[in-house]
Amino acid sequence: MSVVLPGATIGIVGGGQLGRMFALEARRMGYRVAVWDPGADSPAAQVADEAVIAPFHDPEAARELARRSDLVTLEWENADVATLRELEALVPVRPGPAVLEVAQHRLREKDAARRLGVPTADYRAVHSLDDLRAAVAEIGAPAVLKTARGGYDGKGQAVIRDPADAEAALRSVAPEGTELILEAFVRFRMEISVVCARSTTGEVSCFPVGENEHRGGILHSTVVPARVSPAVAAEARRIARALVEGLDVVGLLAVEMFVGDDGVVRMNEIAPRPHNSGHYTWEACPVSQFEQQLRAVCGLPLGSADLLRPAAMVNLMGDDAGTGLGRMGTVEMMAVPTAALHLYGKAESRPGRKMGHVTALGDDADQALQRAQRAWHALAADVDAVALAPARE
């Protein structure tokens, strides 16, 4: 495949914060950026050279993006596959629609993992209440019922703690007849992730293993390197590499995993795009995940994914009062050593919405996390649950 050089225009499907950060890196490296998003003031459109403002299912918008772009990449995995196939007939799309067909469907995702020798939780397909009852009888309780498609940041799922809960769980997740998946409940001691890049030439490079904490189904923080054994870290990287190669990804693949109480590393889910848990790479690695995505889709040599210093990232969320970051303790945050602030340009704050993130570096993972928490504490609107240890500067 030919190399796409600076001066070319990169199209992005999606205008959120991931597209924004990709656009910033692409423009820094001399590329033009065209964003396709329904919102005229989307985070990515604010920093792009041009934008196609139209619904994602609009075929004319797809053709317009193709006319403006030398290649197209993605910032979210739920883009319409049929529309992307039409787009792919006009301009290279990386990663391609075939990868999204797997990533958008939890059953296909789990089936692909098994085919590639990647451990997962036990699972069953569910189409009806009878299917669900049979699946619970086979897998046991507790188990997690999820929609096969859709759902994000903990939405579209329910925990079944007793077989008698099956009917109520089904009603809460989706109408009967919706395609669902029941997964065995994994008792885990840690959630981890790896962001892996694969270029048009087949070159692969994986960033370090991140240790993640979720709150309310949404990522709260990531610490790198993950505080796991060398064997667990090696297995996590093996899994990520097996998936990025086996699925023929060109671009990035983020792989979320559980480290079980039994010591087994199991894939939870994948996303063929930059990932929230990879934001630390801005400050902590020679290239960010966004530059790595650009290099991969353009056919350029991949950059070093080595960790320069231990790092941590904490998300900044909209608060219940709707005031978000309007009362930021910016001065206090800036006084935290190595802390860096990234805001996404979102005009409206609401509960559960990612408004930005902070990162910090340290001599070790513990110090990096403590610094990131202190920076977050200064900025966040609701930090009642935070307990900070004495400072280690």
Residues 255 and 177 in one domain: no
Average pLDDT over residues 43-47: 97
pLDDT of 388 strictly over 50:
no
Question: Across the chain, what does the average pLDDT equal?
Answer: 92
pLDDT tens figures, 158-182: 999 999 999 999 988 877 678 999 9
User: Domain ends where: 75, 93, 111?
Assistant: 93
- CA atoms of 363 and 369, how far apart (whole Å): 11
pLDDT of 385 strictly over 60:
no
Instruction: Give me the domain span that covers residue 240.
Output: 188-379
Domain count for the chain? 3
Residues 247 and 313 in one domain: yes
CB count within 10 Å of CB 67 equals: 12
pLDDT tens figures, 323-344: 444 455 788 889 999 999 999 9
pLDDT tens figures, 146-156: 999 876 555 67
- CA atoms of 95 and 273, how far apart (whole Å): 8
In a domain, 262, yes or no: yes
In a domain, 102, yes or no: no
The span from the first CA to the last CA of the chain, in angstroms, equals 49
CB count within 10 Å of CB 238 equals: 15
**Percent of the chain whose pLDDT exceeds 70:** 92
Annotated binding site for ATP: which residue ranges?
A: 106, 146, 151-157, 183-186, 191, 214, 268-269
In a domain, 108, yes or no: no
Residues 18 and 37 in one domain: yes
User: Domain ends where: 135, 164, 184?
Assistant: 184
Q: What is the pLDDT of residue 269?
A: 95
User: Domain ends where: 93, 114, 138?
Assistant: 93
CATH code of residue 81: 3.40.50.20
Residues 218 and 168 in one domain: no
- CA atoms of 259 and 240, how far apart (whole Å): 14
pLDDT of 320 strictly over 60:
no
pLDDT tens figures, 297-312: 999 999 999 999 999 9
Q: Out of 61-70, 191-200, 242-251, 331-340, which region has the weakest mean confidence (pLDDT)?
A: 331-340
In a domain, 290, yes or no: yes
In a domain, 318, yes or no: yes
Residues 172 and 194 in one domain: no
CATH code of residue 144: 3.30.1490.20
Residues 356 and 264 in one domain: yes
Annotated binding site: which residue ranges?
A: 106, 146, 151-157, 183-186, 191, 214, 268-269
Q: Give the rounded distance of the alpha carbon of 319 from its chain centre.
A: 22
In a domain, 117, yes or no: no
Angle of helix 289-298 relative to helix 17-28, nearest 10 degrees, comes to: 70
Strand partners, 211: 192, 223
- 211: tokens are 């240790």
Q: What is the pLDDT of residue 322?
A: 46
Q: What is the pLDDT of residue 390?
A: 42
DSSP, res 6: B
In a domain, 110, yes or no: no
Q: What is the pLDDT of residue 384?
A: 39
Residues 148 and 86 in one domain: no
Q: Out of 95-99, 119-123, 268-272, 348-352, which region has the weakest mean confidence (pLDDT)?
A: 348-352
Residues 310 and 248 in one domain: yes
Residues 169 and 200 in one domain: no
pLDDT of 381 strictly over 70:
no
In a domain, 246, yes or no: yes
- Provide the greatest CA pair distance for the chain: 61
